Chains A and B, each alone.
Chain A
Amino acid sequence: MQLLLQQVVAGIATGAIYAMMALGVVMIYLAIDHLNFAQGEMATFSTFLAWQMIQWGWPYWAAFVATVAISFVGGIGVERILFRPIRNAPILSQVVAFIALFSILNSSDGEIWNFTIKSFPTPFGTKPLFCIGLVSTHQAGMVAVTVVILALLYLFFRGSRLGLAMRAAAANPESARLVGIRVGWMVALGWGLSTAIGAVAGMLIAPVVFLDPNMMVGVLIYGFAGAILGGMSSPGGAVIGGFMVGVIENLAGTFIPYVGQELKLTVALVVIVAVLMVRPAGIFGRVSVSRV
């Protein structure tokens, strides 16, 4: 019982990171109708920036805030420079561009900061929380930061004029233009937000999995799994899906023989395939219908 509880709580903690990646995936998906395969590498690059600033002696939270800000601007820059010129190109051209971005960022990380594994500090400490030994303070911190970010995003999208405009631009670009919304800029803002969220996820998971150029490859697959499980058309669903994938992954790794630590990633892939076969819209997603 103790083991089960421990694994569920630990699953929720890593699930928080998957939830953030899933949210980033869905935000871009809703804005441009497909996946950004470079999302994980963008997050890794941001995390390296934070690591560099901390190496230079910056306080943790200063590096954190600076990294989020740089990532936000960088995400907008990627949209403006890389994606915008090819937004009407066939989907495969766009996929190739995303894969190129993936390789460029991955190799740049290795070139600038080399491929050795680095430890990344946590501002929360690693002692057990409340001495009960269920979670560490860092895990609790990951969940807390995730919840705060999700709450802020919810308030932004539900309560602010700009948030409303972004939702309208994603839901119906043509009608959004007809009420005077600059849809192109809303898409760019979505990229900025998604990249900033990815940076937070990267900085929070780095103390757990250690920082190297391939750090986010696996995490992004869990994020995709969470997004697909929750529903690609539902930001809230993607978040819940991310938490669920964290728990499923941990429980499968602990209680199913043969899965163990080595085959955990396979669990994410099984989730993706299973959801796409049984309920392609995901748990909370809408079935989209189009005339052809």
Chain B
Amino acid sequence: MMMLEVRGLCAFYGQSQALHGLDFALAEGGIVTLLGANGAGKTTTLRALCGMVRMTGEISFDGKPIAGRATEDIVRLGVAHVPEGRGTFTRMTVEENLQLGAMARGDRAAIAADLEEVYGEFPQLKKRRRQQAGTLSGGEQQMLAVGRALMLRPRLMLLDEPSFGLAPLIVAELFGILRRLNQRRRVAMLIVEQNAALALDLAEHAYLIETGRIVMGGPAPEIAKDEAVRRSYLGY
């Protein structure tokens, strides 16, 4: 059984329809990427999965239907969303941000240990634990967003443009961390990226979205070889 199954997903902003019947799936511990140009509907897809936009269609997580449920209830099932713009609580400290990530958990005793683990993963965050999160650099804020998501002990992470606005070296470091998290903790990931080369390298499966529809889907290496994808998204 797939961990996440989406069938006929449509999403709406007021009168206008942004998604027109998306079907895709994600296996337990797998990594899937959604590729597409600006405005294709990638971010909307992630927002629809979390109940943040008006939507129709079926979404099941671990076999349970989650379509139409409140965002906070979906999060409590172990779905951590790292939103575009990172969703940092800028006026709170780094440590408070991380603690907020664990807010939905019941096992309070384990939270302190997880905090140390996140600090182990991101040593820069430990150095800045008492600093206001808004004063961090872009790369550090992205690390903080991933760290905050990890504090949920998520089973599935939704990552929206994790490479956005970061220097190439930082991007490489971040994607290395994501790969390691996936291998060590079996955290499944659904990644939206404009940097297609990077995403296709990390993911096992890829879907291509154009104007709210999936126009192509398959194993990442095959998608990477496709003529049209190469010319439009990989640039060679």
Using a CB–CB distance below 8 Å, which chain A residues touch chain B? 161, 164-165, 167-168, 171-172, 174-183
Contact = CB atoms under 8 A, between A and B. Distances in A.
Interface string B142-179: 00000010001000000000000000000000000000
Given A164-B100, A168-B100, A172-B87, A178 B71 contact: yes
Contacts of B52: 174, 177
B103 A181 contact: yes
B81 interface: yes
B68 to A, nearest CB: 15
B211 interface: no
A180 B81 CA distance: 10
A177 B103 contact: no
A179 B103 contact: yes
Interface stretch (B1-9, B20-28, B91-99, B185-193): B91-99
Contacts of B96: 164
24 contacts: A161-B99, A164-B96, A164-B99, A164-B103, A168-B100, A174-B52, A174-B87, A175-B88, A175-B89, A176-B100, A177-B52, A177-B71, A178-B75, A178-B80, A178-B81, A178-B83, A178-B87, A179-B100, A179-B103, A180-B76, A181-B72, A181-B100, A182-B72, A183-B72
Contacts of A168: 89, 92, 100, 103
A172 B72 CA distance: 14
Nearest to A180: B104
Nearest to B73: A180
A167 B72 contact: no
A175 B76 CA distance: 14
Nearest to B86: A175
Chain A contact residues: over half helix, strand or loop, or mixed? helix
B101 interface: yes
A168 B98 CA distance: 12
Given A178-B71, A178-B75, A181-B104, 20 more contacts: A161-B99, A164-B92, A165-B100, A168-B100, A171-B89, A171-B92, A172-B87, A172-B89, A174-B52, A174-B87, A175-B83, A175-B87, A177-B70, A177-B72, A178-B83, A180-B76, A180-B103, A180-B104, A182-B72, A183-B72
Contacts of B76: 180
Contact of A179 (B91, B108, B148): B148
B50 interface: yes
A164 B52 CA distance: 23
A179 B88 contact: no
Nearest to B75: A180
Contacts of B87: 172, 174-175, 178
Residue among A164, A174, A179 with most chain B CB within 10 A = A179
Contacts of B100: 164-165, 168, 176, 179, 181
Given A180-B75, A183-B72, A161 B103 contact: yes
B89 A177 contact: no
A158 B26 CA distance: 40
Contacts of A178: 50, 71, 75, 80-81, 83, 87
A234 B148 CA distance: 26
Contacts of A175: 83, 87-89
Nearest to B104: A180
Given A164-B100, A168-B100, A180 B88 contact: no
B92 A179 contact: no
A176 B88 CA distance: 10
Nearest to A286: B91
B107 to A, nearest CB: 13
Nearest to B99: A164
